[in-house]
Structure 1
Amino acid sequence: MTTAITRSDRRVSPVFLGLVAIMAVSAWAVWTGFSANTGFAVFLLVTSGWLVSLCLHEYAHARTALHGGDLSIGAKGYLTLNPLKYTHAMLSIVLPLIFVILGGIGLPGGAVFIERHSIRGRWKHSLISAAGPLTNALFAVVITAPFWLGLMDDVPVAFRCALAFLALLQVSATILNFLPVPGLDGYGVLEPWLSHSVRRQVEPFAPFGLLAVFALLWVPEINDVFFDSVDAILRGLGVTELETALGQQWFRFWEGEPQLLDLWPVLNP
């Protein structure tokens, strides 16, 4: 077993730095109107920002596990923020991105592989599971800071709405991740406190938890309740439903110009 974390184990991956660079350049393009296709620039900004948040989500799990006692984390490459090092890159990166493109939902991905037997204490296990969605929550607070601080008056509308939609993804990911469903982080927070027999009975359902949540979100009544909750939180952070809707329409650039754009000067005189 690995007993020490080397400097190379902690070195930030060029892949992650590349994602940050794409996010920065696309943010500049949206802000300045440099791109001839504003929607495509918004798509790049939101997509790269979402991927960066996914990397930070998984890093938070790994870093907390390291401090909890799992010294194998470094050798697995989880501390480099490289999404290609994840045990389930398809679940952690590809599927969540597809769900964002298709439905505008920040669906959680698969977690990094942690050697739980190396960690002692229920609270440590719960904190490791909670670290990921808490990172999404913090990300949402940070990118909405200009909204709840009242600093958005002179910000270009496309940039403003792109941040709003990215915030929606973070809030929805936080809520979904904290659901006490087997296979999601919320259940991981709860699991250490359950009896061994209960955990054994629930374990076979873990691979299907994510699919079950996605299926339930297609039920109109459940979908309405979920997004009403997301919108309520965003309103508390100073973000309006028009801003998130416009951000999503710009993000889906292949559908043309945002249909709600005509409402902007009316609702924001």
Structure 2
Amino acid sequence: MTGYDRPGDPLVLGVPRAAFRPSPIFLALVALFVAGGAMTWNGFGNVRFDVFLFVVSGWLVSLCLHEYAHAVVAYRAGDRDIAHRGYLTLNPLKYTSPLLSIVLPVVVVLLGGIGLPGGAVWVDRHAIPGRLRHTLVSLAGPATNVLFTLALVAAVTWGPALGGPLEFWAGVGLLAFLQLMASVLNLLPVPGLDGGNMIQPWLSPAYRRMYDLFAPYGFILLFALLWSPQIGGVFFGGVFAVGDALGLPPDLYRLGLYLIRFWQG
């Protein structure tokens, strides 16, 4: 019996419906996001703390939805046990590493303004037939970030005409920039990241074994690449160029990054 099995609990494809209900932790994050947005809009108390709450909670909600996208596509592709692992409840504490999935991305946002990809849900690849389905499971997370990017850029483009404080739109602009950077980072063909996992099923057996050898060190490899002035410069220059092409005002998300560091003068 699992923690979801209850007498009379209806089943969905053999899985209790409770396995699909959003967790209280996720709902609390959504409530914080809404509250942070309302506080920022109304200038409640320390507005820089309001923007901090708005952006960080919104970023955490997006991380949960990113991992949920992986999980729900994996479930539809054949991994029914993923529901019993709690990934379809959007509970961040169910991830393979909450430290890598939640804590590290938030710290990196606060210190460097980088939308670092989170950790991962564990998918039973043996339960999913076909290389295309494996690729779609890996693509689902970055696709979520891309959709968030487009929606937030549209909000920043058309929303200020409706009025509202600059601090609120700076927070929305920063969230848009973080989603843009997360989209690009997640699509890089780095072993262990979503972009690499998308191409892994299509590699020859020899290259797949080499990929699997480096996959656990994907985060370290990513940091090493971004630390290089040449590679890092090209990457961040590319992200800024995409942001400009989308019409994302750089002054807006830079102001948002300044505001969330409320502990600084």
Given the two structures, how large is their TM-score scaled by the length of structure 1?
A: 0.90
Does residue 141 (structure 1) correspond to residue 154 (structure 2)? The answer is no
Cα root mean square deviation, aligned: 1.6
Is 1:8 equivalent to 2:26 in the alignment? no
Instruction: Write the mapping of 1:108-187 to structure 2, written as runs, cut at 5 A.
Output: 108-148=117-157, 150-153=158-161, 154-187=163-196
Unpaired segments of 5 or more residues in structure 2?
3-12
Q: In the aligned structure 1, how far is the partner of 2:243 from the partner of 2:215? A: 30
Instruction: Compute the displacement of 1:220 (Å).
Output: 3.1
Post-superposition offset of 1:90: 1.4
Letter in 1 for 2:208: R
CA–CA distance in 1 between the matches of 2:198 and 2:208? 13
Deviation at 1:167, TM superposition (A): 1.0
CA contact (8 A) 2:41 2:168 kept: yes
- Look up the match of 1:29: 39
Percent sequence identity is: 51
How far is the alpha carbon of 1:254 from its aligned partner?
Answer: 1.2
* 1:100 Cα deviation from its structure 2 partner: 0.9
In 1, Cα distance between equivalents of 2:189 and 2:113 = 22
The reply to whether residue 209 of structure 1 matches residue 200 of structure 2 is no
Query: 2:209 matched to 1:200?
Result: yes
Please report how far the alpha carbon of residue 205 of structure 1 lies from its aligned counterpart in structure 2 after TM superposition. 1.1
What is residue 5 of structure 2 aligned with on the other side?
none
Secondary structure in 2 matching 1:72: helix
- Retained in 1: the 8 A contact 2:44–2:50? no
Q: For 1:6, give the aligned amino acid.
A: P
Q: Which letter does structure 1 place at the counterpart of 2:36?
A: S
Whether 2:21 is the aligned partner of 1:18: answer no
8 Å Cα contact 1:12-1:81 kept in structure 2 = yes
Residue in 2 that maps onto 1:262: none
Match of 2:81, SS state, is coil
CA distance in 1, matches of 2:219, 2:149: 22
Q: Is the 8 A contact 1:130 1:185 kept in 2?
A: yes
One-letter code aligned to 2:226: L
How far has the Cα of 1:146 moved from its partner? 2.0
Q: Is the 8 A contact 1:31 1:156 kept in 2?
A: yes
For residue 99 of structure 1, report the CA deviation from its aligned partner.
1.0
Alignment partner, residue 260 of structure 1: none
Aligned ranges 1:55-66 → 2 under 5 Å = 55-66=64-75
Conserved? CA contact 2:73–2:140, under 8 Å: yes
Matched residue count: 254
Measure, in 1, the Cα distance between the counterparts of 2:61 and 2:191: 25
How far 1:138 moved relative to its partner? 0.7
Q: Is the 8 A contact 1:147 1:237 kept in 2?
A: no
User: What amino acid maps onto 1:254 in structure 2?
Assistant: W
SS at match of 1:226: helix
How far apart, CA to CA, are the structure 2 residues paired with 1:249 and 1:88? 29
Question: Contact 2:156–2:172 at 8 Å: present in 1 too?
Answer: no
1:66 to partner: Cα distance: 0.5
Q: 1:13-68: CA deviations, max 9, x gaps?
A: 00000000000001001111112x11111111111001000000000000000010
Matched with 1:83 is: 92
Aligned equivalents of 2:193, 2:233: Cα separation in 1: 21
